[in-house]
Amino acid sequence: MNLTTALARLLIFPGLLFAVPAAWFFLWVERKTVALMQGRIGPPFMQPFYDFIKLLGKSTPPRNGVGGLLMMMWPLLAVSAAAGAVGLLPVLPSSGGFEGDLILLLALLELPSMCVIAAGFSSRSIFGEIGSAREAALSVSYNVVFLLAIVSIAASQHTFRLEALASAAADRPSSLYWLGVLAILVCLPAKLHINPFSLPNAEQEIYSGPMTEYAGPELAMWELSHGLEWVAATGLVATLAAPHLAAWWLAAMVFVALSFVVVLLLSVTAAATARLQIDTTVRFYWQCTLIFAVLAISSALFMRFKS
């Protein structure tokens, strides 16, 4: 991958130029789906964009010293990491990439969550701190399944290169591969803080959790980073599940369509469930880990005997 294609991927498609409108679109799809399921009209199409612009126009309370600087830094870091993760997705055929870019993608996907935790503690608000503690406990729980899933997908294809994994769906991959994709899907509601795992920002319990002290452009950046996380997380599933297509425009359309389906699926799950408690959530993900680990090991052993 040369510098031009790398920049094009990062800035145009699937990077910033595509990802930012896609983030607003996915946020709208989520809100609209939930509203329709609840018998409401829901927001107009442009609402997430209007929210963003309105927040940009507001002023933030002055915060002095290192604390203020840190609070300003976390949302920017989260946006950069989420945008970088979207840019790395191997959407187009022969898009390049490098050996081990899967590990970089994982790190970039995890960074916004780390920033949320740090932001809650930096804000020195009791609600922010509780929200951050919950986010940390949640992160420790679902990430074990998430990482196991990614590792098993990589192991089933003998590569840590994203492009090779993306093209694997076409070559009738093993059951281990699809098991991994399913496990990633199970982790997405927790990663995106939606029901039934919306406890870090449970409004009725701890106001907005880590975001309680945020306002104006900083909050706008958090909203954007959340939207970009939607694009990156659903995009990851879409690229892993999409068939390998030679035409770039067809590949791009299939990517958007699959992402849209995943967003719909997650929104319907969110609308149909109540919020779980922290210990139920942790137990759920550790049980998932156990089941997934047993299935992955048996599948790996089975493959070894078959070969």
- Cβ proximity to other proteins: between 30 and 101 the closer is 30
Closest by Cα among 75, 82, 106, 102 to 90 = 102
Which residues, including other chains, have CB under 8 Å from residue 89's CB and lie 6 or more apart?
14, 105, 162, 232, 235, 236, 239, 255
**Distance, CA of 239 to CA of 243 (rounded, Å):** 8
Instruction: Please give the residues from 225 up to 254 whose contact with other proteins meets the rule CB under 8 A.
Output: none
Binds other proteins (CB under 8 A): choice among 132, 141, 157, 195:
195
Is residue 16 within 8 Å of 83, Cβ to Cβ? yes
Of 10, 29, 48, 9, the residue nearest 257 (C-alpha): 29
Q: With binding defined as CB under 8 A, does residue 269 bind other proteins?
A: no
Shorter beta-carbon distance to other proteins: residue 246 or 274: 274
Place of tokens 């329709």: 36
Query: Which CB, 125 or 152, lies closer to other proteins?
Result: 125
State in angstroms the smallest separation of the CB of 126 from other proteins. Answer: 6
Q: Between residue 36 and residue 65, which ones bind other proteins under the rule CB under 8 A? A: 37-40
Task: Map residues 7-36 to x or -, x wherever contact with other proteins holds by CB under 8 A.
Answer: ---------------------------x--
Nearest distance in Å: CB 37, other proteins: 6
Cβ-based nearer residue to other proteins, 167 or 212:
212
Q: Is 132 in the site for other proteins (CB under 8 A)?
A: no
d(C-alpha 78, C-alpha 114), whole Å: 8
Q: How far apart are CA 19 and CA 16, in angstroms?
A: 5
- The residues binding other proteins (CB under 8 A) are 34, 37-40, 126-127, 130, 195-196, 198-199, 202-207, 271-280
